[in-house]
Every structure is written in structure tokens, then in C-alpha cells.
Amino acid sequence: MAKTAVIQKEYASLFYKYVNYNKSIKPNSQKYVSGGIKIVMQLDSVKAIVNKNTITFISENQTSPVATFVAKKYLYRFTTAEIKIIYNMLLRNQKNNPELIELAAKIEIYNKCNVGAAFSDYTLQDTSGKSVKLSSFIGKNNKYILLEFWASWCNPCRQDFPHLKTAYNLYKSSGFEVIGISIDSDKKKWKKALKEDGNPWIQLINPQGLYGDLMTLYNFNSVPTSILIGPDETIVNLNMRESWLDNKLISLFGNKFGALY
């Protein structure tokens, strides 16, 4: 795991580089899109190495309780398929380890909203107060749908919108859709923010605001958060923001950023 720790430091260094990069470059400029994608590709490459090393460590120490501890600690890194392999490996070798029960409970929660999992339906409200199920949009017309969780009081959420609007306008005809999901408790503030921001995509709100089981179901505790769901109704990626989203859109539909890339 020592090698993994070194790589994790490299990841942290790259991530801070990306954060500082975003602060220094004007959104939607050519440098913003092309430069940002280069950095997040490096980040994803390092992350893949860390994941591989972690799985290797668990595999090589699958009879040890330490492997179970590592699996619990870094569960958030893995896809549903990887988690299944890891858990079955540990179950075969540590049937009497009580921590496996805790790991299984954690997996059950995490896998409800993880890459490769089927999306969970939820009933929200539109701007007129009408109840709307997410299933009325997801899986329709062969579209990739980004669930964009936000709130009127969340400055980072709203700072992202100009670039997301550019990406949306470029790719909506290719099969990309965005659904804004607010966790506002005050609908007046939500509608005021909608008017101020002028975002052209579908807008829904959680009637329970910060409460209810929306955040538990989709496994997040803060905003901004976003989830990309494919035409087959399974989760493609989590936290698809900024340059990660740009890179994914290019890989799915080709480069439409033109001079921005």
C-alpha cells in the first residue's frame, strides 16, 4: 500500500492543480475546455492505478481482516462489478469476520447509486407543483441524462451553470439532456433563482427540500452533485462536472466544442 500512498499524493497534487486552473481561466474559453480535459484525464489515469493497486492489495491479503478494513475505507472508489468481486473474495476467506456484515450493509447503500447500477426512480415536482417521476424522462428517446442536484443558496452550483449551459446547447440535439433537481426548502427562492439563471433544461424540486430520502437514495450529502444516466437506465458516471463532463460528452458524441477545445 506504500506505493498506492505515493500515487494518492500525486492525485491530490493534480486535483489542486485542476482547482487552481479553474480559478485562473475564464469559463468557456479555449484554454478552459482543452486544458481542463488534459488535467482530468491525468487525474482519471492516476485514479485507475490507485484502484488497481487497492484491489491487488485486497486480493493478496484476502484472508486478513486488514483487507476487509481497506475494502470498507475505499468502497467509494469502486464500481458495482468491482465491489461484487471484492466482497465475494472476502466472503470466501473471512466468513466469521463480523466486519463483513458491516461491509455488506455499506455495499447495499452504496450500490443503490453507483456506476453500473440501475437508477432509482423518485417523485419530484415541476415549477407548476405537479408531481413528476424521473422515470418519465429517463430511458426515453435514447438520451443520456444528467441529474444536476443544486440549490439557490449554493454558489458553486450556480457558478457552474454558464459552462453547463454551453455544453447543453452544443449537445442537446445529439441526445444529451439535463434535469435540474433543487433541494431548496423555499420554492420562492428556487423560482427566483430559475428566473435569474435562465437555464434551458428541465427543472424539478424535491418537495421535502433537504429532508426525505432523496439524498440517501442518490448517496450524496452536499451540492453540487451530478449523476449521468445512460439510455439503458443505468448510471454511467458520478460527479460529472466541468471538464469531466466535457470529456465524457466528447467521448460519447464527438467534439462539438470547436474552437473551445
Q: Which of 5-19, 162-176, 237-251 has the highest mean pLDDT?
A: 162-176
User: What is the average pLDDT score of the chain?
Assistant: 87
- pLDDT at residue 183 is higher than 80: yes
pLDDT of 235 reads 96
Question: Per mean pLDDT, which range of 7-21, 31-45, 139-153 is the poorest?
Answer: 7-21
Query: What are the pLDDT digits (tens) for 16-69?
Result: 554 454 455 455 444 455 567 777 777 777 778 888 888 888 998 999 998 999
pLDDT higher than threshold 60 for residue 135: yes
Q: Which region among 137-146, 208-217, 221-230 has the lowest average model confidence (pLDDT)?
A: 208-217
So what's the pLDDT on residue 18? 40
What's the pLDDT score for residue 37?
Answer: 76
Top-confidence range, 31-40, 66-75, 117-126: 117-126
Question: How much of the chain, in percent, has pLDDT values that exceed 70?
Answer: 85
Write the secondary structure of the chain as one string of H (helix), E (strand) and C (coil): CHHHHHHHHHHHHHHHHHHHHHHHCCCCCHHHHHHHHHHHHHHHHHHHHHHHHHHHHHHHCCCCHHHHHHHHHCHHHCCHHHHHHHHHHHHHHCCCCCHHHHHHHHHHHHHHHCCCCECCCCEEECCCCCEEEHHHCCCCCCCEEEEEEECCCCHHHHHHHHHHHHHHHHHHHHCEEEEEEECCCCHHHHHHHHHHHCCCCEEEECCCCCCCCHHHHCCCCCCCEEEEECCCCEEEEECCCHHHHHHHHHHHHCCCCHHHC
pLDDT digits (tens, 9 = 90+) for 184-194: 999 999 999 99
User: 173 falls in which pLDDT band (50, 70, 90)?
Assistant: very high
- Give residue 33's pLDDT: 57
* Domain locations along the chain: 2-113, 123-255
Q: CATH code for 123-255?
A: 3.40.30.10
Of 112 and 165, more confident? 165
Confidence of residue 212 (pLDDT cuts 50, 70, 90): confident
If you average pLDDT over residues 228-246, what whole number do you get?
Answer: 92
pLDDT of residue 47: 78
Question: Parallel, antiparallel, or unpaired for β 144-150 and 176-182?
Answer: parallel
